[in-house]
Every structure is written in C-alpha cells, then in structure tokens.
Amino acid sequence: MLSKEENFIFNAQQDFYLLKLEEQKSFFARFFKDEKKESKPEEIREKTIVTRPPQVGCRAFITDLVVSDEYWESNISEIYKLDAYSDYVGAGKYDNCHTAFPNAARGTFDGLAVDKGTRIIIYSEPFFKGEILLDIVGPAIINNVLWKNDIRYNGTMTKKFKEPYEKMFPPKVRLWSKSDMRKWSNGSIIVCCNT
C-alpha cells in the first residue's frame, strides 16, 4: 500500500506522462527559463491538469437542463449533443466546475449522462474537496430530483428512447439524483475510464 506522499507522486507522474511531448517541454520551460519568476499555484494547476476529448466508452455529458433522447429548447438537452446549456468532456480532473463546464454551470447542473465504463466523481467543493456528491460508473443518466414530479420531465425516465440511446441508456439506468443537483456546479469533478 502506498503512503499518502507516494500516492500523490504516483498520480502526478501518471498525469505528467499523459501530457504530449510539447506540453511536457512547456511545463519544464516555465520552471527553468526564469527561476526568479514565481508562478501562482492556480496558474500551474490550470496548465497541468490533464484532460482528454470525449470518446465512446469514456465521456460525460453535463447540462443545465434535464437529459433525454431529444432536444427541447430551455427544457431538455439531447444526450451528447452540445447546446447552449451543456458541456461534453472526456477523462480528466476538472478542479472547478464553473470554469470547466461554463455552459452547464452558467445555470445549475440538472442532468448528466455517463457512458458505459466511465466513472464520474463529483465533489461539493473546488479542488476535489468536501463531500462526494456522486460516485457512479456508467451507463447512467442522472436528472435532478427537483424535477421528478414536473409533468414536463417525469416521462423522460421511463419512455422508450430513440436509438441508439435506448440501447445505451435503458430505463433501468435512468435515475433521479438523491439530492438537489443545483449545488453540484459549485464543486469539482473527476472523470476516469477503463479505456
């Protein structure tokens, strides 16, 4: 079992190896170019967090609307289709939801879709601190429990989705959140995958 310090170093090394060669050179250049110039911690953190584009088997879709199989202006976002209310990401450590998910966080988080084999962990505070609000491995659709009894949305959890969404997200993996998701946008998110 690794100590806390060894685990931190191991995770930092894994993140560093995921950077492209150009990004690794840029990373070192910041420190050796002018050793007298100090970087602010948030600048370093922002530049070294590793993210990957969304891909099948490794993606998460977050929206300010409810998630379903079709788009309905100002009410429902279609799974994996970007609109003015949603963000679509791959594996990564997103230390501040307001900067990482600007469309969804402009309002509040009200829906998310997590692909098969993708794990999403949502923390209540930035920089992966506070309470873990959600830790789930997809496939899953989570919609805000706040809308459970609203006639505009309650059918989205049980209706037959158009393909390929019905096969990807059958009713048994569509869930209402356990808490009001509107506060989730104040935190941070880790998306990790088996691929």
Convert 118-138 into a string of H (helix), E (strand) and C (coil). Answer: EEEEEEEEHHHEEEEEEEEEE
Nearest 5 degrees, angle CA 168-CA 171-CA 174?
Answer: 85
pLDDT at 3: 53
Assign domain 60-193 one CATH number from 3.30.70.580, 2.60.20.10, 1.10.238.10, 3.10.129.10: 2.60.20.10
Write out pLDDT tens, residues 18-46.
554 455 455 444 444 444 444 344 443 44
Percent of the chain residues topping a pLDDT of 70: 74
Q: Is the pLDDT of residue 51 over 90?
A: no
pLDDT at 195: 57
Mean pLDDT of all residues in 171-177: 96
Mean pLDDT taken over the chain: 82
pLDDT at 137: 96
Tell me if 58 sits within 8 A of 139, measured CB to CB. no
Percent of the chain residues topping a pLDDT of 90: 66
Indicate the pTM of the whole model. 0.73
pLDDT at 4: 55
Structural domain boundaries of the chain? 4-48, 60-193
Q: Is the pLDDT of residue 10 over 70?
A: no
Could you give the CA distance from residue 119 to residue 7 in angstroms, rounded to a whole number?
A: 20
Q: Is the pLDDT of residue 160 over 90?
A: yes
Distinct helix (H) and strand (E) counts, the chain: 6, 11
Q: Is the pLDDT of residue 98 over 50?
A: yes
Q: How confident is the model at residue 47 (pLDDT cuts 50, 70, 90)?
A: very low
Q: How confident is the model at residue 181 (pLDDT cuts 50, 70, 90)?
A: very high
pLDDT at 16: 47
Write out pLDDT tens, residues 56-75.
999 999 999 999 999 999 99
Mean pLDDT of all residues in 105-123: 94
Q: How far apart are the first and last CA of the chain?
A: 24
pLDDT at 23: 54
